[in-house]
Amino acid sequence: MNASVFRRALAMAPLAAALFAAQAAAKVVRVQLDDPKPLASTDPTIVPYETMTGHAFGELDPRDPRNAIIQDIDLAPVNKNGKVEYEVTFQIVKPVEMRNASGLMWHDVPNRGGRITIVPAERKLGDVGLSSGWQGDNSGGTAQSRTDNEWVKVPVPINRDGTVITGTVLGRIVNRSGLASQPIFVQSNRFPYSPAYPDDTRKARLTSRVHETMAGQVIDERPISSTEWAWGKCDNGDPTTAVFDSTDPTHICLKGGFKSSLLYQVVFTAKNPYVLGVGFAAFRDLESFFKYEADSKKAPNPLAGKIRWSVSRGVSQSGNFLRGWLHLGFNQDEARRQVSDGMWPIIAGRRISLNSRWAQPDGVLELYQAGSEGPQWWAKYEDKVRNLPKRGILDRCRDSRTCPKIFEHFGAAEIWELKLGIEWVGTDAKKDIPLPSNVRRYYIPSTTHGGGGGGFTATPANLPNPPNCPGNNYGTGALKGNPVPHAQTVNALRLRMRTWVMAGTPPPDSLYPRLDTPVGHEHHDDGDDDDDDDDQGSEGRRCGKKHVSNLVPPTQDAMGFPKGLPVLRDIAPKAPGAARINGEDEVPFINPVLDYDWGSQFNPSDGSGIPTNFPPPIKHVITALVPRVDSDGNELGGVPVVLRDAPLGSYFGWNITADGARPFHKSQNCDYTGGMIPFARTEEERAANNDPRPSLKLRYHDHGGYVQAVHDAAARAVAMGFLLQEDADDLERQANLSDVLNP
């Protein structure tokens, strides 16, 4: 070999090694595709689409540092190649003729197994949709016996000596009554872990509680003797007749039955945890496969060569998944390629509890549920209250240079109930945390979780009443449901995300309430918070302007919340420790972040490891700040929304759990549901109700005045980039046809 050939060969060696590494990297190795099915559409402007469902089979190298972070992967069974195997379901939504595809793929994260089909607006643009499983606990919506949902089959680890892994867990039964046995639920799915000793209740601890405050104070807890209950099903309140069902193992039969006024909590030894963190890798690998890999007989890829950009997207629990996924470094595949170009966690301000032993990813906000540990903010920032290292969600993707462009948007319910607030100002709430330049944050003020149904009506009977409180048998709300929508804002943000990812066109500046807000921008912040790559940020550039705070403590006086509102003054909370609503007391009540001590084997920064303390002691109660409100009680700061800016009432991100058949949570917040109190139609009605707020008649004069207010609010939102003109026109048509001040 002559010298020049040798030099060329030497120069090619790193490339060849990289190509070999990419080919050798564990990934999706086999795909089973079902026959495509046509997707019906009534819109003639949408090209023909089809759906394709299937199963993918993947392998993970447990020694690869991108996988080694997965809790218990080192204890998972391996195949003859030393790889950990998984199976994942998916659905593709694509143009029948891929020449009509735009090149953009939305990778949607299912919420509790629900399969996702991209909306007509995205199909109209030629986009491709991918929905794939990640939740491997095989419970309820993620049950692997179903064919209409998304799930991932993950391994069960074993001890190195071959014995079954056991550990302590905690389950709860609330707001249920009767002689029949009751199962343990986590949010809306059955508890995913089985008792290791179903025949010996002495190895478990069952207690009852009269009440719990939102700050974690327990009222009147009483132990229940091991002789008064049994693992198993019964229908007579007699534990001696209980029959244990290994296929549905968390039923408890209680002597004399359950009382709806009590919460029952059991701490017990469970067996066979799942390696749930494999769900992070499965989501990564499937997107990478359909984006980068060639078509083959063993692993058919109907999208091969057609996807140039991908955006991962998740709503609520699924958005929390994405935040945890990125934080743990899963936006880089085993071949060192960036997976998602964009990421959009929606109404999600926490990280999912997935990558720890005995994780409960269905958990939302009940006492002793994980998910708020460690950095909830994007850039490196101090965690002074919890005394944790200075860290941020983007740390790992910055190290690997694989950070995506990020949108996040929230409503008021995420502040009040879903523990969002520390993301904005940290655990000490001393200053605004600067946003990195690849992140945009949009706050939709005075809205419920996911937004309401919209519409314009002055007739209270047409409003949702009463709304159900979501979650584990929670109850119903005392206030009418909040109708302020997210839908039109999302329509605009969708296009902003597409053009940012596909063309590099910057989206609107971030808009959300801050500690430091220039006067004149109190209603809609200026949003000038983008910083450079070193996270220096602007931290509120003053430019000689006077500044005020749009983030305040959650008290009536600090918020400027109006006193004496109808309905609120008639609600008299009686539960011990419940927030008061009358008079000078604090009106709304926020669900704080509780700093749990999960034990020395748990890593709170990453939310990984093995929790050993059940129930965990509470080290700190971290109460977040909330948006300031106007004289109607509607929030200041955030993006413009027509119904909030041309209001028909006071709109809240919180509601109040009513008395009734499910009394344990009465007078606390109605989980993550918003409420509304309509304005009086006339000044006479206002006076009769002692309502401090101006009537509709005084505000808008007549129907035409209200339509003009809607027109003006819509025009402002369009000009700021948060409303499409076609949606603005439709909202004005709705207002014109409404009953608001119509004769």
DSSP letters spanning 61-80 = -TTSHHHHTSTTGGGS---T
Rounded to whole angstroms, what are the CA distances from 272 to 162, 269, 625, 708?
12, 10, 40, 62
Q: Measured between alpha carbons, how far is 509 from 524 in angstroms, rounded to an integer?
A: 11
Determine which helix (DSSP H) or strand (DSSP E) holds 620, and give its type and residue range.
strand 618-622
Domain coordinates in residue numbering, the chain: 27-159+272-385, 166-271, 404-562+624-662+676-743
Q: Measured between alpha carbons, how far is 70 from 92 in angstroms, rounded to an integer?
A: 27
DSSP 743: -
Q: Measured between alpha carbons, how far is 683 from 689 in angstroms, rounded to an integer?
A: 10
The amino acid at 538: S
Of 450, 442, 445, the residue nearest 409 (C-alpha) = 442
CA atoms within 13 A on the CB side of 165: 18
Q: Measured between alpha carbons, how far is 625 from 740 in angstroms, rounded to an integer?
A: 35
For residue 185, how far is the Cα from the chain centroid?
Answer: 19
Tokens found for residue 697: 């008649």
DSSP 698: H
Instruction: Answer yes or no: are the C-beta atoms of 209 and 219 closer than 8 Å.
Output: yes
Residue at token pair 């002789």: 227
Largest CA-CA distance found in the chain, in angstroms, rounded: 101
What sign results for the dihedral spanned by CA atoms 566, 567, 570, 574?
Answer: negative
Question: What pTM was computed for the model?
Answer: 0.92
Q: What is the pLDDT of residue 584?
A: 34
Q: Measured between alpha carbons, how far is 579 from 594 in angstroms, rounded to an integer?
A: 17
Q: In degrees, to the nearest 5, what angle opens at C-alpha 71 toward C-alphas 68 and 74? A: 55
Rounded to whole angstroms, what are the CA distances from 623 to 156, 252, 560, 626?
38, 35, 18, 10
Residue at token pair 């999912």: 352
Q: What is the pLDDT of residue 666?
A: 79
Q: What is the pLDDT of residue 521?
A: 58
Tokens found for residue 473: 């048998």
Q: In degrees, to the nearest 5, what angle opens at C-alpha 541 toward C-alphas 535 and 546? A: 150
pLDDT under 70 in the chain at which residues?
1-26, 460-464, 518-547, 570-588, 661
Q: Measured between alpha carbons, how far is 164 from 197 in angstroms, rounded to an integer?
A: 13
Q: What is the pLDDT of residues 492-533, one digit of tens each?
A: 999 999 999 999 999 999 999 999 876 555 566 544 444 433
Q: Measured between alpha carbons, how far is 311 from 326 in angstroms, rounded to an integer?
A: 13
Q: Measured between alpha carbons, how far is 502 from 102 in angstroms, rounded to an integer?
A: 10
**String of DSSP letters for 385-428:** TTTEEEE-TTHHHHHHT-PPEEEEEEEHHHHHTS--THHHHTTT
Q: What is the pLDDT of residue 19?
A: 38
Q: What is the pLDDT of residue 576?
A: 28
The pairing of strands 405-411 and 342-346 is: parallel
Q: What is the pLDDT of residue 571?
A: 65
Note every long-range contact of 244-248, with CB atoms under 8 Å and residues 24 or more positions apart, other chains counting.
Answer: 244/198, 244/199, 246/194, 248/183, 248/190
Instruction: Answer yes or no: are the C-beta atoms of 325 and 355 closer than 8 Å.
Output: no
Q: What is the pLDDT of residue 214?
A: 84
**String of DSSP letters for 707-742:** HHHHHHHHHHHHHHTSS-HHHHHHHHHHHHHS-TT-
CA atoms within 13 A on the CB side of 265: 20
Q: Measured between alpha carbons, how far is 102 from 309 in angstroms, rounded to an integer?
A: 9
Plot region of 610 (φ>0 → left; ψ -120 to 50 → alpha; else → beta): beta
Instruction: Answer yes or no: are the C-beta atoms of 319 and 382 closer than 8 Å.
Output: no
